Structure 1
């Protein structure tokens, strides 16, 4: 929500008036000097939207405020050009509305366009969240990197490395939405106060690592690669079992952590699943995710997958002692089984542990056959959100 600065206004005053933590207002206005606000300057207030109210007979700003149980000063700030003593019938007055409900509608097929729409809405309401681009997919779709918090302590989360595991994207998006709601309404999230998480940890979230593949599973093949993907899929137009990117490369078997060994026991050509590519980091998606980690020096990494109701936290004995402590905590809060080692290599968390000797986790949400049904969403979200919150602590 945008407001126009009046003479004598301060960000601290707005914080008190709107009951929004000052740090969130400051971070929503990175180009504004908080010590020298100028009359007429536009300020973003996070956590609010604006509604228009037509003035009726006998209405006053005080009456309108009382009807909504809000401070009349909110209306005075939002309507600086309105003379409160001379309201006209039919005149439109801006009414601030605190956002207390979810934007992300996660219980439906969730393709790239739906994610993009939700991100746009979240950014408009919560401008302290920042959107970057980690890279692009084969077909040129952006791999969005959403940031919440500004601390040097950083945690990376990602989802939909595998196309038919697309349900992990709305899981992560809903978590971001719940976190943002908790911050602007000064609430706890899964029993943990939200604001200290924001000030102490920077969250990096890439909600859809394989947008081309997700769109393929949900919407069918795009015309420009239709023949190629149908051939890779052995002539079938049923892409429900497709895990790979649009070129038939499994993105979570692309990282240089014993890739040379893993390639000997996997498909030797593009496939709907498990083909590691002809070289590690050959795909734009995996190169982007590797570059992101190299640049940002993350302290922890969590990759959301399905299925198994378990998570993997070790790799070749290279994981630090902290990983076991975190694994025990994650298992306790989520109810998922903590598994140290599995017979698998060249995944994103494997490479992260190998290269940086920091805690990395592959979280296998839900149970059954991929793609998991939306009927499991609530159960999966409950476990995942508790685990994700505690990864930020």
Structure 2
């Protein structure tokens, strides 16, 4: 049998910082997220003629006259068009001469916060859209940001998204007033400081009118920074996981039919952190056995070294007991074995947490039975205060404790995202009920 897995493209390095950028748009309902993406695609020539024709003939239009509804580029579901809201996460691909992009258009409605978490989990950057017409500006100088702006910013922080672009949208509705923009940006930066967000890049624009999205606008002459597309092109996406210890979750054990003289046994999977070379000393977790890399196999032949992001088959010198769900790690830098887990979670289910029930915990390729033993604190999105709680409801963000039936080889989420993340699955309905980030005390 074929023992190789097709190699994936390795993550970017310092010499190729302007490679692929994954980013999401987030914010409240009708902040203009879908329209902004449509404008990016339209003005950067990132759509095809047949898409443009389909948009022009779309039955459900949210614009006046013959103006094209750019949001239809991402609102693909019929229900989205009928209701005028984004429900599902829509992914779009486009490129400029300087960079390739994958955009995730995420819903703004609180009901679909779980969809936003899904889109944000693999993002390098987030665009937080703020609709100037919805922000309450008090005569006393106060500024009240929308709750979803705070919620999505909090999730971006929890998921450790590197770059946060604050796009103050619909500037045309306030006659491109710099004072309004400055007040909103100051209020957001004050809120971001309470979260611990540091890399904040504010930008004024109008997605509908196209001001400052791909081309600069005379109406925003007081703004001296880059356009949105120029800003996205400049963001660094160097992945430091090359320098991290090896993390190789085993997806499949590959063997031939069993009648050949050469007893082939390979371990297939994707390198989630670090790198591996022939001759490296590894540890199998959670079992603890030692192993030595004999060969690294791909569809294109054997490799001397493979790096994070590549899908490979590892052959080992020793005959050891390894199954799907085990993890091969650097012998000198193993993962932490956990039976009791502390994690921050976003509750994604309409059914509240039931402390009496067991859930499946899915971590990399491993799935184990788990039980929530306690809710330590519930995060108040508005004030960022943490208060005691006994349960979890839809969209709640909290720190919890779990026990797992079999040990997990895990890392802190802020150290290695892939091996620090998990989901909880309802044993009966098989629905994903929570997304979690492991914290090591």
Using the size of structure 2 for normalisation, the TM-score is 0.26
Using the size of structure 1 for normalisation, the TM-score is 0.29
More helix by share: 1
More strand by share: 2
